[in-house]
């Protein structure tokens, strides 16, 4: 038997962390939001309020529900403030060393039966679990972006993850009204194992001069019926995250077909990371996005 999850701690108040906090609070769970930068927490709370207000305007949420959800989100300035949580989800930057350091520092603050999860989109769950004092209670819970909109959540078991942990995580996702799928602990799991090489190939297509940014995105939107083009999607995900996932695939599977495109590397080195920096494969500094190549 797994444990019932009533209070969720979230480490990282960025795009993913704020989205996870949103859906947890909207589903009646108490949330404790942690970030090393207090300004990011303030920004996350403002974003959550704006997104909930949009749901009220659409008629999918009442204003009373919006106020209740916001009231359930508390600020946790330190890891000690996460001590009463039943589940703590790490949603920090996609860097293994950073995540391992977080888990090593976090675990002494948690109650013995608390579950720990990572929202990593590609890194080995087994390796991350080894940085904790509870690999049996550790699991990958990979939400899709944007969290309030996307229906799927990948659950990834490490080699030491026990059945009650998986069952608790599965029940938690169902409580959020989302659908879970189970992936084995292979580099990038299911969604990104398929999606990111496609994006990388689109970048190679641009790099080799086969098509422009606009022609590549138009071709995939209208020719494959994708809701957005692969380069537009890369900007939305963040080019640094795309590069990180491709590096995990390339190093983890030792196959040249996963080699990150040199153009992707160049954009990241330039600090052109997509929407979050206002420039990537598109320039977002004006009223409408303009292709940069």
Look at the block and give the residue holding tokens 């004006």: 286
**To which H or E segment does residue 290 belong?**
strand 290-291
The yes-or-no verdict on residue 27 having pLDDT over 70 is yes
Write down the pLDDT at residue 81.
97
Q: What Cα–Cα distance (Å) separates residue 160 from each residue in 27, 231, 250, 270?
A: 29, 37, 25, 40
Question: Distance between CA 147 and CA 19 in Å, rounded?
Answer: 5
Which tens digits make up the pLDDT trace of 228-280? 999 999 999 999 999 999 999 999 999 999 999 999 999 999 999 999 999 99
Residue 220 has pLDDT above 70, yes or no: yes
Q: Is 39 a catalytic residue?
A: no
Minimal CA–CA distance to 233: which of 192, 274, 190? Answer: 274
Q: How many residues are listed for the chain in this entry?
A: 293
Q: Which residues contact 11 (CB under 8 A, 6 or more apart)?
A: 17, 34, 35, 79, 82, 88, 89, 90, 91, 92, 102, 106
pLDDT exceeds cutoff 80 at 37: yes
C-alpha span between 112 and 47 (Å, rounded)? 33
Q: Are 84 and 96 in contact (CB under 8 A)?
A: no
Distance (Å, whole) CA 238 – CA 268: 9
Cα–Cα nearest to 15, from 88, 94, 128, 127 = 94
Query: Does position 1 have pLDDT exceeding 70, yes or no?
Result: no
Q: Among residues 94, 142, 168, 183, which one is catalytic? A: 142
- 203-213 average pLDDT score: 98
pLDDT digits (tens, 9 = 90+) for 174-200: 999 999 999 999 999 999 999 999 999
Percent above pLDDT 70 for the chain: 100
Q: Which is catalytic among the residues 122, 192, 200, 244? A: 192
pLDDT at 208: 98
Task: Report the C-alpha gap between 293 and 290 in whole angstroms.
Answer: 9
pLDDT at 221 over 70: yes
| Most confident stretch, 52-61, 91-100, 201-210 | 201-210
pTM score over 0.85: yes
Q: 184 catalytic, yes or no? A: no
Q: What is the pLDDT of residue 111?
A: 96
Query: Quick one: pLDDT at residue 204?
Result: 98
User: How would residue 3 be classed by pLDDT, with cut points 50, 70 and 90?
Assistant: confident
Is 251 one of the annotated active-site residues of the chain?
no
Residue 154 a catalytic site member: yes
Tens digit of each residue's pLDDT (9 = 90 or more) over 121-171 = 999 999 999 999 999 999 999 999 999 999 999 999 999 999 999 999 999
Active-site residue identified among 121, 124, 200, 244:
121
Helix, strand, coil abundance in the chain, percent, nearest 5: 50, 15, 35
Q: Please count the other Cβ atoms lying within 10 Å of the Cβ belonging to residue 22.
A: 24
CA–CA separation, 263 and 270 (whole Å): 11
| Closest C-alpha among 179, 175, 180 to residue 157 | 180
| pLDDT grade for 13, boundaries at 50, 70 and 90 | very high
- Asked whether residue 2 carries a pLDDT value surpassing 90, the answer given is no
- Active site residue: 119, 154, 168, 180, which one? 154
């Amino acid at each position: 038997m797994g444990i019932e999850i009533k209070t969720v701690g979230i480490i990282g108040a960025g795009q993913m962390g704020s989205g996870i906090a949103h859906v947890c609070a909207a589903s009646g769970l108490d949330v404790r939001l942690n970030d090393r930068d207090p300004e990011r927490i303030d920004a996350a709370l403002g974003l959550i309020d704006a997104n909930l207000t949009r749901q009220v305007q659409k008629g999918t949420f009442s204003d009373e529900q919006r106020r209740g959800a916001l009231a359930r989100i508390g600020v946790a300035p330190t890891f000690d403030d996460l001590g009463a949580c039943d589940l703590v989800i790490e949603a920090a930057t996609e860097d293994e060393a950073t995540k391992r350091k977080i888990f090593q520092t976090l675990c002494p603050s948690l109650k013995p039966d608390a579950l720990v999860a990572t929202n990593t989109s590609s890194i080995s769950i087994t390796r991350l679990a080894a940085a904790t004092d509870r690999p049996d209670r550790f699991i990958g819970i990979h939400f899709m972006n944007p969290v309030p909109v996307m229906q799927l959540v990948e659950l990834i078991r490490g080699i030491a993850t026990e059945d009650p942990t998986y069952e608790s995580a599965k029940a938690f996702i169902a409580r959020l009204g989302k659908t879970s799928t189970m992936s084995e602990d292979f580099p990038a799991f299911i969604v990104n194992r398929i999606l990111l090489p496609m994006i990388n190939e689109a970048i190679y297509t641009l790099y080799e001069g086969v098509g422009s940014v606009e022609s590549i995105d138009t071709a995939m939107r209208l020719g494959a019926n994708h809701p957005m083009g692969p380069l537009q999607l890369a900007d939305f995900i963040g080019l640094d995250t795309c590069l990180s996932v491709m590096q995990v695939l390339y190093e983890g599977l030792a196959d040249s077909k996963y080699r990150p495109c040199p153009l992707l590397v160049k954009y990241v080195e330039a600090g052109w990371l997509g929407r979050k920096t206002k420039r990537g494969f598109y320039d977002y500094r004006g009223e409408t996005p303009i292709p940069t190549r």
